[in-house]
Amino acid sequence: MKGVILAGGKGTRLYPLTKITSKQLLPVYNKPMIYFPLYTLINAGIKDILIITAPEHSGDFMEILGSGEEFNARFSYTIQDQAKGIAHGLSLAEDFVDNDDVCLILGDNIFEDDLSSEIQNFDNGAKIFIKEVTDPERFGVATIDENQNVVKLEEKPKEPQSNCAQTGLYIFDKEVFSHIKNLQPSARGEYEITDLNNLYLKERKLKATIVKGIWIDAGTFESLYNASKLIRNNEYLKNL
């Protein structure tokens, strides 16, 4: 399985911190933010990882992370010139993935749980990682059955049928790039990850894993602050 970290975007919700650097390079307690999604992949045995960045910060990522030797891994880099959505970012990894399965994680997602076994046990189709939240209308919302099969997936519904939000961690089989080519841009001009997952859902090949520990999408001042508190008080994450 290959790994992909999507670390582009402008990080406008964190201005002025992100005027001269990428959101994913901001410090979260004792490490740059991107270290945490990196270790989510590496601890699951994924050592071949592509990091997708915005063009203005690509050199900073390469300087901090290097070839991956320090992490006992191998890093590659590519640029997403325009923010056209998560599915578009993943499409840039087609040659890198080369008919393998792929685990995609967003560069601002921090998980308290060690999700290694759930990633390693992936079989085929697609898998999403979901978390119960108090404000599901802000996210892609998944409704699941007793076997953790997804029966419905909606993007930011006004009246959510469940409180299970789609986090920024996904696993896909080799069919993913064929599915991406069948997507159409959404009303906001992006290729949406929820639309991609819905194609797998139509084939009854979409499953979900429930995240039990804390999950933080560190894209706001409050969530960035909470992420630092989480790392400070969690020996596993602090000592990665």
Could you report the per-residue pLDDT of 187-219, keeping only the tens digit for each? 888 899 999 999 999 999 999 999 999 999 998
Q: How would residue 161 be classed by pLDDT, with cut points 50, 70 and 90?
A: confident
Q: What is the mean predicted confidence (pLDDT) over 68-89? A: 94
Tokens 């999507």 sit at which residue?
6
Comparing 7-11, 91-95, 161-165, which segment has the lowest mean pLDDT? 7-11
Residue 147, pLDDT score: 82
pLDDT greater than 90 at residue 89: yes
- Mind listing the domains of the chain with CATH numbers? 2-238 (3.90.550.10)
> Tokens in use for 104?
């995609």
Residue 26, pLDDT score: 95
> Tokens in use for 123?
């079989």
Residue 11, pLDDT score: 78
Residue 129, pLDDT score: 97
Q: Nearest CA to 99 among 178, 207, 195?
A: 178
18-68: pLDDT as tens digits: 888 999 999 999 999 999 999 999 999 999 999 999 999 999 999 999 999
**Mean pLDDT (the chain, rounded):** 93
pLDDT greater than 90 at residue 125: yes
Rounded Cα distance, 215 and 99, in Å: 30
Q: Nearest CA to 111 among 212, 3, 209?
A: 212
> Tokens in use for 31?
């490490």
